[in-house]
Structure 1
Amino acid sequence: MKKSQAHKSLFLAAFILTLNFLPRPTTARCESGEVNEYEYPKSPFPVNKTIDFQQPFAAKPSIMYGITMLDMNYAENKRAKIKLLRSDPASFTVWLGTMHDTKLYGLGMRWMACD
């Protein structure tokens, strides 16, 4: 085999081997839902809610959430809080509550988890 053909063959073999080690495209998956806690005239808060995913993620997902509904007594200051307590590939737990003298009757949140 000639020297130039040997170089071409070597280059081609190295190129093909390199392709096997390139990162493969991944598909991201997201799941979303809504949580609403409501009780009147008694306040059910604070409350811990665990949300189970329909299908577990491959690793711990990123979780975003926001308040979608508030029902409070008009006479006190308006304070509501949501905290992410724990998350894993199969579920996550949030704390829904209030602070100080606020009477909270309803609190809703919308969430999205993505890997």
Structure 2
Amino acid sequence: MLIFYTLKYTEANLSADDVYSMLAVKIDTINSEMSLLRGVLMSTKSELTSTKAELTSTKSELTSTKAELTFTQTKLKSTQAEVDVIKSQCGLVTGISTNTTPPITPPGNSTTCCQVVENAIVRMKAEQNQAKQDIENLIEKKVTEVNEDIARNSEGLVSMGTNIDKLAVDFVSFRNITEIQQTEHCQSGYESIWKRNTPFPYTYTINFKRPFRNTPAFTIGTSKFDFYHGRNLRLSLVVKEISATQAKVHGSIWSDTIAYGAGFHWMACPT
């Protein structure tokens, strides 16, 4: 992929340094976007931790409510037993009673006593139903709140996942960002020698934009001639000196050759 980008930009008449500068900008952009995503992920992780704590708290509340309901049911059973005793004493037990003790006669008539018992039973059942309804409403409310929190977090995660997938496509070619930024790469350029400014022979000094760690491999190629057509063409371009920071190319003509100018491309690559 890196070679592809280099070739692509080279075709657009950009130097290797320009290509790597553009790649460095792309890398910096990806790093910035990844930092933002890491921040969002940390925030979402914090929200999920908070939601987990709320779920634990809700579970504790439901356990407490369940214990209260169990206690209420036990109390209702005890009360029901007492009601059965009162009903038996009021003569309301179905079938033939085996109790030889005559029933207690409450003030007034037995019908009034039975009505009191029945009213108490109806009231207790109503209270039991109301308690059951309150518990169901509480559970439904908590479950709804938890589902809403989970839905919000899920939407955020889906959105982040989409952004991460998009970045991954760009990032796949830049997995070794530090290595790309620190690794040496080739440098190239074009130079020209004009008689009107620099008569032959002339030694041209090329200063590299970034020094190499070691003496690089250096090559040149003649790409332009401007000579008098009535004389033979004679030109010598020789690399006289090469170091980690610069290279010197000596250009010369001889005999009766008349030169107006010459140009050459060069490239230096790390060894």
Q: What number of residue pairs does the alignment pair up?
A: 89
Q: 1:60 to 1:70 in 2, by over 3 A?
A: same
SS at match of 2:250: strand
- Partners of 1:43 and 1:105 within 8 A in 2: no
Q: Distance in 2 between matches of 1:59 and 1:101?
A: 41
Task: State the 1:27 CA deviation.
Answer: 4.3
2:15 maps to what in 1? none
Q: Distance in 2 between matches of 1:99 and 1:30?
A: 33
Q: 1:101 to 1:43 in 2, by over 3 A?
A: farther
- Partners of 1:43 and 1:104 within 8 A in 2: no
2:215 maps to what in 1? 60
Q: Distance in 1 between matches of 2:269 and 2:213?
A: 11
Q: 2:247 aligns with which of 92, 95, 113?
A: 92
Structure (1 or 2) with the larger CA radius of gyration: 2
Please tell me the residue identity of whatever aligns with 1:99: W
RMSD of Structure 2 on Structure 1 (CA): 1.9
**Structure whose residues are more often strand by fraction:** 1
1:30 maps to what in 2? 186
Please tell me the residue identity of whatever aligns with 2:216: P
Greater RCO, 1 or 2 (C-alpha within 8 Å, sep 6+):
1
Q: 2:261 aligns with which of 87, 90, 106?
A: 106
- Partners of 1:86 and 1:94 within 8 A in 2: yes
**Structure whose residues are more often helix by fraction:** 2
Gaps (5+ residues) in structure 1? 1-25
- Partners of 1:38 and 1:105 within 8 A in 2: yes
- Partners of 2:204 and 2:250 within 8 A in 1: yes
Q: 1:43 to 1:54 in 2, by over 3 A?
A: closer
Task: State the 1:39 CA deviation.
Answer: 3.4
- Partners of 1:43 and 1:103 within 8 A in 2: no
Task: State the 1:99 CA deviation.
Answer: 2.1
CA offset digits 1:12-47 (Å, max 9, x no partner): xxxxxxxxxxxxxx945100001111235x871111
TM-score scaled to structure 2, two decimals? Answer: 0.31
Q: 1:103 to 1:43 in 2, by over 3 A?
A: farther
Q: Distance in 2 between matches of 1:46 and 1:34?
A: 19
Q: Percent identity?
A: 30
Gaps (5+ residues) in structure 2? 1-181
TM-score scaled to structure 1, two decimals? Answer: 0.71
Task: State the 1:68 CA deviation.
Answer: 0.7
Moved >4 Å (runs of 4+)? none
- Partners of 2:188 and 2:266 within 8 A in 1: yes
